[in-house]
Amino acid sequence: MATDAWQQARDAVTALWRRDHPDRAEAMEGELTAARTLLLRDDSAAAAATLTQLWQFRLQELLLSDERRTEALTRELHRVAQELARDIAQTAQPGIGSVSMNARATDGGRVYQSAGDMRITER
């Protein structure tokens, strides 16, 4: 819910409600937006789990009323899950480039090189 794919997921879920329960679609869209706001403020695992359970229940309720919806939502959720995984992978792993280092120590000098974090403790 905290990535760009969220808007697509929200639109897909809202479209499901709009098609079958137009009187509830706007309220569901507002609740999804409120849930995202909460998650952006509190991105803890507990908050995410609570919101996940809530929306799983709501989607299950919608799906149980028509089997055709199950197939459509399954395809849409699969597509969104792939996009979310791609978004997460891109933000979690910064680009890895190549590093080239050259050094020469003379007269008892020392060389320390690192392409990342380094801790040196000398006594």
Q: How far apart are CA 3 and CA 92, in angstroms?
A: 12
Q: Can you read off the two tokens belonging to residue 80?
A: 């969104």
Cα 123 from chain centre: 46
- In the chain, what are the domain boundaries? 5-92
pLDDT tens for the chain, 123 residues long, are 445 677 877 888 888 888 878 898 899 889 888 888 887 888 777 888 888 888 888 888 877 777 777 777 778 778 777 777 777 666 655 555 667 788 888 888 888 888 777 888 776
* Angle subtended at Cα 48 by Cα 42 and Cα 50, rounded to the nearest 5 degrees: 110
Q: Which residue has the tokens 């819910």?
A: 1
Q: How far apart are CA 63 and CA 39, in angstroms?
A: 25
Q: Which residue has the tokens 């329960």?
A: 21
